[in-house]
Chains A and B, each alone.
Chain A
């Protein structure tokens, strides 16, 4: 096992430690793993099943059901375009089209250099500012398609 994988498993184990012996913790546990390593690797699913003594299929079912949990590795920067109704009627789709063409990937994909992942989100609750884009947890209100290009380019250079 590579060093990186070992480190990952250590993080996963530490998170599981927090929840051992408690009821109804599976989603919270997976959310914590998602936050730490940005996705839910196969090893995590196996480890949780093993240590919480629940079937692998149950862990997988939960992990695949919720949109906040990703079963694919994510890029370094997460670009999320709000696809809520208010953003949609104010041109959110065009922001998304632009982001797709700038990054040269489709929604749900990660760029080949593993720098960016592009996703949509149902609503960020900033409807009054629509269309809204979130990049690495920071929200940007009412960007024009042109600005989204600038935002992405700035992140690319970081």
Chain B
């Protein structure tokens, strides 16, 4: 490549690149970043290359290998331009169809499209997927458009224009003032104003001065720096060179943790390309400014992300922090002034120079400007990288972009800021998020990790996890951090294993105070945050662990008990076979029993028990029910072990909320009731009475079979029709039938209380002969032939299902 000697050289070079590019050319962008690759993106890419040759498209299609697009869990993902067709979870087997159908015939393949879980509609365009729609992807947007290994791609998008502008038409003072005016704050954690940091390095005596990119990203749960460095390395490099110009530095370092091999590789290549085009080295773009940069690989130490520790590591020493009476911006690497900023901070710089500080200030809140990338992970439906303007609420991030909590569970808290941050509970979901607000809530911005926790997450265990992490990562130089964390770990280990004492909470609080006031570096000072926030917002969980030996989230192993509910066991033997400790007694067709003296609480029985039986129970702090005596273990349930449902087996409605949302989706449902509803009784009320409440509230018409009509009438409820189950079955398969009310075919039939074998036969028939009809069984016995069925349930659970369904259904909208 020829060296560019002036901004006009760069402009010409860009023009030449653009002239060769055809915006309408067929291009497939395949994300091959670390995340998608873990899901098989390289294999998909290879298959694509091969298939394109095979189907004679060679030379007519460009394949672009891009960096991370952020929606990692949906990988491997491809985008086909110019139509912007977005396919996700692409497998090698899909490739021939993609080539023949979408590339050649321009047809969209429905099953590869993204389905919005809330509306059930498929979406073909990348920008219309809700995950992306509500973001403001300033820094991440280009990840989809550039091949990180090609500098031409970056230049085509206007890359290095900001550098040319700074060098050509701005003095270094003007650049610094522009950054200062933008109010950009450091994205690595502390949020220190970037402009002021640069200024103090520039003004500090001593030469040479250094600029450093911090890509240590040691916070578990954060990966935006990896995505930026892997996906768009030149944007960081450009920001770095501009910073060097503003500060008057001629030597820079890029510190990358060794866990990110692809980031190192792409950055190394980017540096070589920038050198050969003259963006690095001597007399950059003819300006007379010289700058060189080196990559330094980290060797795996969390504390190395701290600025003084990182600089020690660059010197080749042990990465331990030092007291900061004098800031590293004045005395850093080899005692020379050193400005260190996070990857994301540098990525913002070209935008600020190109578009001006006023534009940048228009995004965000009063004291936190611009966008922030969060790494959304944990128990949320859409995980990945989310870039949003500062000031957005947690609710918007987690529910609008993140699509809510996995498996419809309850949101409990979100952990922000990595191990030094804290857990923010549900009552603060509507807080606008910026640097200051997060600190007020007891957490911090940190690098932007955001780990969502649901009702299955134990907060004491979370605190223990972080304290354990920090304890391992403490460099050991100062006593409060080294010894304080060790003591806190011991206490938390005791609490989660049921050996906690009442005084422990007070001791933890004292330890936390000492840690935050007396530690040497920010790591120690903030190490208490996970303890402090969980104690502040979830103290009741600590008390339950200590006083009642109960872990409500059912996480802490020592506090758990497993038993088999005899009302739900189907005698299938799966659990008995999976138990490595032979702690389960059980023969086929007999109720199984766990021998508590042998149980090691490994949970494998709980995992293997099929969801339709859900017989193995996990509890904590409860008295276990009596064991069924040896001679009485024959199953009382009409279970049919030879019932083979075929490949289409009923999906399990794990809870009544799922049931009600399915029922509400129907436009013309009916409920078929059999005599079983008068045989079940709970707290003096028969099931039929709960059922009447349900149909009155939901407005679903009832078809009563046989003698059960009388029971309804006695209770002042008139069913819409009465006929035998077999007769109803033959009407339902008749395409001419106009429905129970003459208004047309039904789209959903709910069943309850039919004799077990009758139910099986009837629903099995409907599955084969009325395949479009949705069938749902509300009984407490799993019915494998329905579309949806409740799992095996005890009477108590069955009644609870109805109580919840009654409270959540409303008249007029079944």
Chain A residues proximal to chain B, CB less than 8 Å: 23-28, 30-31, 61-62, 65-69, 83-90, 94, 97, 121-130, 132, 137-141, 145
Contact = CB atoms under 8 A, between A and B. Distances in A.
B306 to A, nearest CB: 14
B451 interface: yes
Contact of A122 (B220, B260, B296, B378): B220
Nearest to B383: A128
A138 B40 CA distance: 10
Interface string B9-45: 0000000000000000000000000110111000000
Contacts of B217: 123, 125
B110 interface: no
A125 B258 contact: no
Contact of B38 (A85, A88, A126): A126
B413 to A, nearest CB: 11
A128 B35 contact: yes
B670 interface: no
A90 B457 CA distance: 9
B378 A31 contact: no
Interface of B: 34-35, 37-39, 71-73, 75, 217-223, 226, 258-261, 296-302, 313-319, 334, 375-379, 383-385, 415, 418-419, 449, 451, 453, 457, 462, 465-466, 469, 473, 475, 602-603, 607
A52 to B, nearest CB: 10
Contacts of A23: 315-316, 334
Contacts of A137: 261
Interface centre among A23, A97, A123 (most CB of B within 10 A): A123
Given A85-B449, A127-B383, A128-B73, A28 B296 contact: yes
Given A125-B223, A137-B261, A86 B377 contact: yes
Contact of A129 (B72, B226, B462): B72
Contacts of A65: 301, 318-319, 475
Given A67-B300, A122-B218, A130 B313 contact: no
Instruction: Give me the 3 closest cross-chain CB pairs, A-B, nearest first.
Output: A84-B220, A66-B299, A128-B72
Contact of A126 (B35, B313, B466, B469): B35
A83 to B, nearest CB: 7
A141 B316 contact: no
B379 A24 contact: no
Nearest to A88: B465
A127 B316 contact: no
B219 to A, nearest CB: 7
Contacts of B449: 85-86, 127
Contacts of B39: 129, 141
B35 A24 contact: no
30 contacts: A24-B314, A25-B316, A27-B313, A62-B317, A62-B318, A65-B319, A66-B301, A67-B299, A67-B300, A69-B299, A84-B221, A86-B378, A88-B220, A89-B451, A89-B457, A122-B300, A122-B469, A123-B221, A123-B222, A124-B259, A125-B260, A128-B384, A128-B385, A129-B38, A129-B73, A132-B38, A138-B38, A139-B37, A139-B38, A141-B35
A107 to B, nearest CB: 11
A24 B313 CA distance: 8
Given A62-B317, A86-B377, A68 B258 contact: yes
A121 B38 contact: no
B221 A127 contact: yes
A50 to B, nearest CB: 17
Nearest to B378: A89
B299 A122 contact: no
A102 to B, nearest CB: 12
A88 B377 CA distance: 11
A30 to B, nearest CB: 7
A23 B378 CA distance: 42
Looking at chain B's contact residues, the main secondary structure is: mixed
Contacts of B226: 125
A153 B319 CA distance: 38
B313 A123 contact: no
Contacts of A62: 316-318
Contacts of A84: 220-221
Interface centre among B220, B465, B473 (most CB of A within 10 A): B220
A145 B318 CA distance: 37
Contacts of B318: 61-62, 65
A61 B316 CA distance: 11
Nearest to A120: B472
Contacts of B75: 129
A26 B73 CA distance: 38
A26 B37 contact: no
Contacts of A24: 314-317
Contacts of A124: 34, 259
Contact of A127 (B222, B259, B379): B222
B317 A26 contact: yes
B415 A126 contact: no
Contacts of A88: 220, 465
Contact of A31 (B221, B258, B302): B258
Interface centre among A24, A94, A124, A137 (most CB of B within 10 A): A24
Given A125-B226, A127-B221, A127-B377, A85 B415 contact: yes
A69 B319 CA distance: 14
Given A66-B300, A67-B299, A122-B218, A127 B38 contact: no
A25 B295 CA distance: 12
A86 B376 CA distance: 9
Nearest to B382: A128
A47 to B, nearest CB: 16
Contacts of B465: 85, 88
B299 A123 contact: no
A18 B35 CA distance: 33
Contacts of B607: 145
Nearest to A26: B316
Contacts of B317: 24, 26, 62
B316 A27 contact: yes
Contacts of B385: 128
B429 to A, nearest CB: 18
B220 A89 contact: no
Nearest to A67: B300
Nearest to A145: B607
A18 to B, nearest CB: 14
Given A28-B297, A65-B319, A86 B457 contact: no
Contact of B221 (A86, A97, A138, A139): A86
Contacts of A139: 34, 37-38
B415 A68 contact: no
Contacts of A126: 34-35, 38, 72, 223
Contacts of A30: 299
A85 to B, nearest CB: 4
Nearest to A64: B318
A153 B515 CA distance: 45
Contacts of A130: 377-378
Interface centre among A62, A88, A89, A137 (most CB of B within 10 A): A89
A89 B296 contact: no
A85 B259 contact: no
Given A86-B451, A90-B378, 20 more contacts: A25-B316, A28-B296, A65-B318, A66-B300, A68-B259, A84-B221, A85-B377, A85-B418, A86-B221, A86-B375, A87-B220, A125-B217, A126-B34, A126-B72, A127-B375, A127-B383, A128-B385, A129-B39, A129-B383, A140-B38
